[in-house]
Structure 1
Amino acid sequence: MFKEIVDWLVWFVWDLGIPVGDGSIPWVVVLLLGTGVFLTIRLGFIQFRRLAHGFAVTSGKYDDPDEPGDVPHFQALTTALSATVGIGNIAGVALAIHFGGPGALFWMWVTALLGMATKYTEVTLAQRYRQTEAPGNALLGTVSGGPMYYIDKGLGWKPMAGFFAIMLMMTSFLTGNAVQANTVSDVLLGDFGIPVWTTGLVVASIIGLVVIGGIRRIGKVTGIVAPVMAAIYVLGALGILAFNLPQVPAAFMTVLTEAFNPTSGVAGTGAGVFLLTMIYGVQRGLFSNEAGQGSAPIAHSAAKTDEPVSEGVVALLEPFIDTIVICTLTGLAIIVTGVWDDTVPTQLDLDGNAVSYRVEESGQILSSNTVPAQITIENGVPQVEADAVQFAWNEAVVDTFYTACPGGCTSKANFQNLFTGTLYPDRGVAVAADGTTLETLYGPAVETGAPLTQLAFERGLAPLGDWGDMIVLLSVLLFAISTAISWSYYGDRCANYLFGKQAIVPYKIVFVIMNFVGAVTALTTIWTLGDIALGLVVLPNLIALVALSGEVREMTTSYFKRMPWIENEKVADRVREEKRQKDKEA
């Protein structure tokens, strides 16, 4: 019964949508894109007109330390970026290109540009309706804000605000925490053989030390970690583009051409279908920069300011940095190195999660209960018709099978012994002609997700050595930890809204425990539940953004007419001068 309920919720959140041609656009995607278009027009293309002002505010030149809040603009931005810049920038871009082709990157750009208006609106509202208290225990914080507050105070819809807070708190335990810990433990186990419990204990301890200290400590840590990890990753990607400079213009042209006239993704799903290329790009773009989810406004609410719009323009930078800059670098690295449609030597675990069965001509992925009883293979080649069911790895058909690949299967030259026998999909095994039962075969297969990005960095930085993939590995580790740290703050503000200050410390304890549980547990169900909560949490937030958009327009007009940052700059200059004098006297 539980599985049926979960399956129905997955269908409702991620499959139900508006029919278009042979497919449909999920309602979540329609609402997110539609809201972005509406806010862009209503606010007069704010993301283009005020982007420069956002950079100026973030620089700290207008910071007044006496204004209410817990952290400076820069630390509020880095806390939010620590949650958004992460696995989506590494694995999400690779997935979009894998399924939708290079053109999917163009649609990620479109969602980022629209998402900038959405992010501006939700952060401005979060600042407008945040709850500020007298300074007290740094562990508890002095500011609480986010969609639950502007839904409650701005619209008076308390039940919907409570629903949002519950869903986002659930997401903080699952997608924002347990899943991140599981990513770290899996990577370290696979690459270095470190036991998952060891990784779980170390990571949970690190996160515990940071989150128990409250938003000020979180802000200080993310203010260092986020720029450092982004710089390392960006420099690595720029190095790849430098080594492949002649291919960069062609890569851009490929993205633009495939965006409107796609040939297909590597997996073949939606071959030549514009709609599916757009959907893959839109989905990965929206959930990379998190515009409209309502999570980032919680971090931005803690910024030291008495002008809501001043933090809204800072938030404009998030989708720009996350998607326009970092996702673009990832996508171009994958395209110019040619790894996106290349096959690599792969160990094929016949009962593994990456296995599927498909009809290549139609692009159809078959469910587990519709696959054939057996597939005959002779001298490594499946004996099937062109439109028949075939074995697929990462949803791309494998055309040759071997029984051995010594030397870690690092080269296609290492393949040995073409397989002859029968593959039994329902049992997840292959039986050779001599009767030997095999659970693993080898063959050329495509990569996807983070391993695809690793492959791009490994090949792209090969002139400097064979360590390029380690940049991606390091980034995955840092991104996963920093994401969990930021999400802990999102969840504790939800706990504070729902149950009061007395719930904050218990929440933090449970959060740290869930991090360890995530590291040592198989997380298929947790992934699913987290994705459901993440999808449901979008609805009340987007309704509130549209309903309160007139208020945001009025605040925007007033702010840029009054230009309060001019006075703030004088205050900031005076404070810096006083500090210099004190340092000089000391």
Structure 2
Amino acid sequence: MSFLEILADGVDFLVDFVWGFGIPTGTGNDIPIVVILLLGAGLYLTLQLGVVQFRRLKHGFEVMTGMYDDPDEPGDISHFQALTTALSATVGTGNIVGVALAIHYGGPGALLWMWVTAVLGMATKFSEVTLAQHYRDVDITGAGEESRWLGTVSGGPMYYIEKGLGSNWTWMAVLSAALLGITSFLTGNANQANSITDTLAGYSGLVGLEPFAMKLIVAAFVAGIVGLVIIGGVTRIGRVTSIIAPVMAAIYVLAGLAILALNASEVPGAFASIVTNAFNPSSGVAGTGAGIFMLTMIYGVQRGLFSNEAGMGSAPIAHSAAQTDEPVSEGVVALLEPFIDTIVICSITGLVIVVTGVWDDQIPRQLDLDAGAHSYRVAEKGGIIADETPPTEIKIVDGAPQVEEGTPEFAWNQAVVDSFYVDCAGDCETASDLRRPFSGVLNTERNVAIAEDGTEYANLYGPAVESGAPLTQMAFAQGLSPLGDWGGLIVVFSVLLFAISTSISWSYYGDRCAIYLFGEGAVLPYKVAFLTVNFLGGIAPLATVWAIGDIALGLVIIPNLVGVALLSDKLKEITNSYFEREAWLDNVQE
């Protein structure tokens, strides 16, 4: 068994443990503890704070504009820069890749569960950011050149758990910081670089490179760009993200709205499909959903959490740096994040994929028999990552695999491929371009196809589904085709900016964790390690990288949400005081 197979088995086990361990329902499908905690905490905080995400949404937009800013108040960046830094971390590849993966595995209904996660997550985000502001450490490094490198404030779940709950809870604060630090390497870093390389690898032929060589070059370039920004500390991060985040979001949203306008007649049906499939799901194209309600919900919640990060405790770190002496003023800005990120941007991505109908399209493509996108799985068998041990040889006659039911088959993007060809004509865009059905055997140990005449092939061709960024790219290309052939480039451009800006913001989250755990001297080694993981994530298999990220996501929310729930009475007290005093008026210029 190869290293990658061992890794895939281990990752699949941990995903099942983190997202599968739960309360029995009597239907054979448990409700994961992670899902209960995430949605339950959001519902509890929504009720505890009097539906703050709706009642204070307008005030959040007002504070975000800067009308109540006071540059003399403690902090490193403005309300707007804090929001854009956090949004740069949340408005990332989760909006492009994550939505596509949710639909790929869980069907269109997974999008509704992303919405539910976002609505409840608005209350959660308000709560954790308000607490982070209230319990943050101010002036941790003093002034001068060093403050520009390290910043003058530090905050996050580790601080409000330790300060708010007392020294008996220090162990949970340390656990939270450690898990967030690990997550910064994976979810906020490796996943982002992987999305860029996965998207740009499709253009390798244009520059005469093999896909993996293209990934190596792109991964090195991305790590270099991220390094140039994060070496300047939070002030440079804030300046860069305040430009990138609005520009990239505007371009992507306008392109998506144009597609929905061009397909206006299909939009009502898309909404109906999303709602219907959320409660009575069809399987995702990979067969992993298998029409099971619980799995569709889990995929939606996973991708919703990845997209808006509510409950993770990550965004409070960025918002802690905002210049204010009123914690709630930053909390209301923070509740805008899930709204902008998931309700607006993710919805546009999901609707574009559904209205264009590409989410279950099989398109001709080259199948690298030894690439990270291939695996072996039993058709319709569950599991996000399926890399089961196939027979040594799979016989193929006139393009069709000859396998018994229950036998692992060759899969691309976790979906079984049902026919194989030797070559593909022209641009290989339609099924009619597939030429010469393959006959012979697929040797799964050597990862080669051996024809009846003894000819060996490292690549075959066949109809396969897309996933991740390429799926969204295909949807935008098709949706904007009446206006030209440039639609897919919108996604390429967006993935590049989204992923880089997300990595930039997450580097700051991780270095605050490093300071808390090891002191200020740990920041430079952390940044070096962060850039190394960024590069490695860019060349690793897509499904494995994202599954490892899901493991980190499921673990990191536990100490954070427990801490927020235990501090909810203090949170309510702070919130009520702010609105009763109308504290924001103190900063209104006469």
Equivalent pair of 1:377/1:421 in contact (CA under 8 Å): yes
Post-superposition CA distance 1:417-470 (Å, at most 9, x none): 112233344543333232333332211111111111010011011112111111
Matches within 5 A, 1:224-235: 224-235=243-254
Distance in 2 (CA, whole Å) between partners of 1:222 and 1:413 is 46
Equivalent pair of 1:197/1:520 in contact (CA under 8 Å): yes
Which of 159, 173, 184 is the matching residue for 2:171? 159
Once the two structures are overlaid, the 10-residue window that deviates more, 387-396 or 487-496, is 387-396
Q: Which amino acid aligns with 1:34?
A: G
Which of 201, 205, 210 is the matching residue for 2:229? 210
Which of 269, 285, 305 is the matching residue for 1:250? 269
1:13 maps to 2:14: no
Which of 148, 153, 159 is the matching residue for 1:149? 159
Which of 399, 402, 405 is the matching residue for 2:424? 405
Post-superposition CA distance 1:16-43 (Å, at most 9, x none): 3333423333332222122112211221
Distance in 1 (CA, whole Å) between partners of 2:336 and 2:41 is 18
2:81 is matched with which residue?
Answer: 75
Q: Which runs of 5+ in 1 are unaligned?
A: 575-586
Equivalent pair of 1:170/1:530 in contact (CA under 8 Å): no
Matches within 5 A, 1:454-465: 454-465=473-484
Distance in 1 (CA, whole Å) between partners of 2:12 and 2:419 is 35
Equivalent pair of 2:388/2:408 in contact (CA under 8 Å): no
1:507 maps to 2:526: yes
The structural deviation recorded for 1:339 is 0.3
1:302 maps to 2:321: yes
Q: Which amino acid aligns with 1:180?
A: Q
Distance in 2 (CA, whole Å) between partners of 1:525 and 1:87 is 16
Q: How many residues align?
A: 571
Q: Which amino acid aligns with 2:148?
A: A
2:307 is matched with which residue?
Answer: 288
Post-superposition CA distance 1:83-107 (Å, at most 9, x none): 1111111111111111211111111
Distance in 2 (CA, whole Å) between partners of 1:101 and 1:525 is 20
Structure 2 CA distance for partners of 1:140 and 1:475, relative to 1, 3 Å: same
2:457 is matched with which residue?
Answer: 438
Matches within 5 A, 1:30-109: 30-109=36-115
Post-superposition CA distance 1:340-384 (Å, at most 9, x none): 111111212234333344444666899655534544333223345
Matches within 5 A, 1:413-432: 413-432=432-451
Distance in 2 (CA, whole Å) between partners of 1:97 and 1:129 is 39
Distance in 2 (CA, whole Å) between partners of 1:69 and 1:403 is 62
Structure 2 CA distance for partners of 1:457 and 1:277, relative to 1, 3 Å: same
Matches within 5 A, 1:487-526: 487-516=506-535, 518-519=537-538
Q: Which amino acid aligns with 2:174?
A: G
2:122 is matched with which residue?
Answer: 116
Distance in 2 (CA, whole Å) between partners of 1:210 and 1:200 is 16
Distance in 2 (CA, whole Å) between partners of 1:488 and 1:362 is 37
Match of 2:367, SS state, is: strand
Structure 2 CA distance for partners of 1:161 and 1:267, relative to 1, 3 Å: same
1:139 is matched with which residue?
Answer: 149
1:343 maps to 2:355: no
Which of 278, 289, 294 is the matching residue for 1:275? 294
The structural deviation recorded for 1:529 is 5.7
Equivalent pair of 2:66/2:79 in contact (CA under 8 Å): yes
Match of 1:139, SS state, is: helix
Match of 2:30, SS state, is: strand
Structure 2 CA distance for partners of 1:478 and 1:171, relative to 1, 3 Å: same
Distance in 2 (CA, whole Å) between partners of 1:365 and 1:509 is 31
Once the two structures are overlaid, the 10-residue window that deviates more, 247-256 or 378-387, is 378-387
Distance in 1 (CA, whole Å) between partners of 2:86 and 2:125 is 11
Once the two structures are overlaid, the 10-residue window that deviates more, 436-445 or 518-527, is 518-527
Distance in 1 (CA, whole Å) between partners of 2:74 and 2:11 is 43
Distance in 1 (CA, whole Å) between partners of 2:261 and 2:576 is 43
What TM-score comes out, normalization by structure 2 length? 0.89
2:568 is matched with which residue?
Answer: 549
Equivalent pair of 2:257/2:348 in contact (CA under 8 Å): yes
Equivalent pair of 2:134/2:327 in contact (CA under 8 Å): yes
Equivalent pair of 1:358/1:365 in contact (CA under 8 Å): no
1:130 maps to 2:136: yes
Distance in 2 (CA, whole Å) between partners of 1:474 and 1:499 is 37
Match of 1:332, SS state, is: helix
The structural deviation recorded for 1:227 is 0.6
1:578 is matched with which residue?
Answer: none
Q: Which runs of 5+ in 2 are unaligned?
A: none
Equivalent pair of 1:357/1:366 in contact (CA under 8 Å): no
Please tell me the root mean square deviation across aligned C-alpha atoms, in Å.
2.7
Distance in 2 (CA, whole Å) between partners of 1:65 and 1:366 is 49
Equivalent pair of 2:186/2:552 in contact (CA under 8 Å): no
Q: Which amino acid aligns with 1:129?
A: Y
Structure 2 CA distance for partners of 1:439 and 1:22, relative to 1, 3 Å: farther
The structural deviation recorded for 1:568 is 1.8
2:495 is matched with which residue?
Answer: 476
Structure 2 CA distance for partners of 1:426 and 1:256, relative to 1, 3 Å: same
Equivalent pair of 1:126/1:301 in contact (CA under 8 Å): yes
Which of 167, 170, 178 is the matching residue for 2:182? 170
Distance in 1 (CA, whole Å) between partners of 2:382 and 2:518 is 49
Structure 2 CA distance for partners of 1:428 and 1:470, relative to 1, 3 Å: same
**% identity of equivalent residues:** 64
Post-superposition CA distance 1:252-286 (Å, at most 9, x none): 11111211222322223333322222121111111
Structure 2 CA distance for partners of 1:483 and 1:443, relative to 1, 3 Å: same
Post-superposition CA distance 1:499-527 (Å, at most 9, x none): 33333344334434544455567798876
Structure 2 CA distance for partners of 1:371 and 1:130, relative to 1, 3 Å: same
Once the two structures are overlaid, the 10-residue window that deviates more, 265-274 or 510-519, is 510-519
